Amino acid sequence: MTLENFIATVPLFDHHCHFLIQSSVSNRAERLARVSSEADSQYPLNDTKNRLAWFAFQAEAQEFALNPDQPLAPMNATDYATYNQRIFSHYHFEKMLIDTGFIPDDPILDLQETSQITGVPIKPIFRLETHAEEWLVKTDNFSDWWSGFSDQVAHARANGYVGFKSIAAYRFGLRLQDVSLADAQAAYQTWQDSGITRLSSPVLISYLLWQLAPVITGQNMPLQFHVGYGDADTDLYEGNPLLMRPFLQAFCAKGLKVVLLHCYPYHREAGYLASVFPNLYFDTSLIDPLGPSSVTRVLNESLELAPYNRYLFASDASTYPEMYGVAARLFKQALNTHFENLTDVPAAQKERWIQQICHETSEQIYLEEN
């Protein structure tokens, strides 16, 4: 079997993605164009349609369309399931982990429906800030809030979750610091008094991450962090994973598995961190479907320093199946280019690394219990 054929058929464990939407939404073409960019809704759609990602999404729709003359036409539920399964089976998606904290504006498919419509087993990821916000609504003092929230975290694996995620980078950045209980209590009171549910306090988010890291480690579950590229409201400058060094020094050597998500344009920094910290993994998701011309270069740069068994496949796709397909197609193409150029590495070793990147390492860090 050629290397290209081996990569084409290797299973994919998509360890970071989001909900799909139902088949019933209208204006499918316009909505698909919107998710081909991280711009918000006020950004001119015509400019979005002048990005390469939009053409990649259209090509994916054309490739797998049930009706080639109208690839973006509305579909009934049965045809939509057939269409999804064409895409997910073609790229050999084996498992998917969905971040349950992000809910698209359109009607969504729940975890069970998504599994049925794609034909792929799915497990959920526990988003810390979202659940912390839910407990704010349920309680009216710091002690009850922390007790309820931390207990939920402690029982996450028992309740079916396989990992955690923090969106600290969206809320203030990655300058995570160890803070005192008194400062956390004061920050909680300010949050409670504000009447705003959204958790954005650097003090409180840092506190919960620092305090819950041992709890997460004890369950042998990974902790994901949004890094770098994302929605228009993130401060990209503050999303550099090098800013996390105090947190990584405090917990990685103690067994906390940290997974850095997306990482572009900090993929080289992420690769460096993976080369010096134990238990640190990363991916370059999101740039795969949304930055098609860069995928091979980003993959090569990511692996300049990083061990191959610390680099993971993920799509960070959401809403539409075309996004998952583009991510998988371009990632596999980049893998093929990268490994074809490794002339000093035996074929068996290449295949071993490819298996680790595409599914084996994710299976190990997410699905193996104590």
Residue 64 identity = F
- pLDDT tens digits for range 310-350: 999 999 999 999 999 999 999 999 999 999 999 999 999 99
- Can you give the pLDDT at residue 370? 62
**Domain covering 3-367: architecture:** Alpha-Beta Barrel (3.20)
Rounded to whole angstroms, the Cα distance separating 290 from 343 reads: 30
Rounded to whole angstroms, the Cα distance separating 197 from 136 reads: 7
Helix 52-64 and helix 77-90, axial crossing angle in degrees, nearest 10: 110
pTM of the prediction?
A: 0.96
- Can you give the pLDDT at residue 368? 85
Rounded to whole angstroms, the Cα distance separating 273 from 217 reads: 19
Rounded to whole angstroms, the Cα distance separating 263 from 283 reads: 7
What is the chain's mean pLDDT, rounded?
95
Rounded to whole angstroms, the Cα distance separating 327 from 36 reads: 11
- Can you give the pLDDT at residue 115? 94
- pLDDT tens digits for range 283-321: 999 999 999 999 999 999 999 999 999 999 999 999 999
DSSP state of 292: G
| Three-state SS at 126 | strand
CB 279 within 8 A of CB 224: no
User: Would you kindly state where each structural domain of the chain is located, as residue ranges?
Assistant: 3-367
Residue 202 identity = P
Q: What is the mean pLDDT of residues 37-60?
A: 95
- pLDDT tens digits for range 169-191: 999 999 999 999 999 999 999 99
CB 47 within 8 A of CB 55: no
- Can you give the pLDDT at residue 74? 87
- pLDDT tens digits for range 252-282: 999 999 999 999 999 999 999 999 999 999 9
Rounded to whole angstroms, the Cα distance separating 26 from 148 reads: 40
Chain mean position to CA 52: 22
Q: What is the mean pLDDT of residues 64-90?
A: 94
347's tokens: 């074929």
69 has pLDDT over 70: yes
DSSP codes of every residue in 233-279: TS-GGGG-GGGGHHHHHHHGGGT--EEEEE-TTSHHHHHHHHHHSTT
Q: Pick 369 or 265 by higher pLDDT.
A: 265
CB 332 within 8 A of CB 8: yes
Chain mean position to CA 82: 25
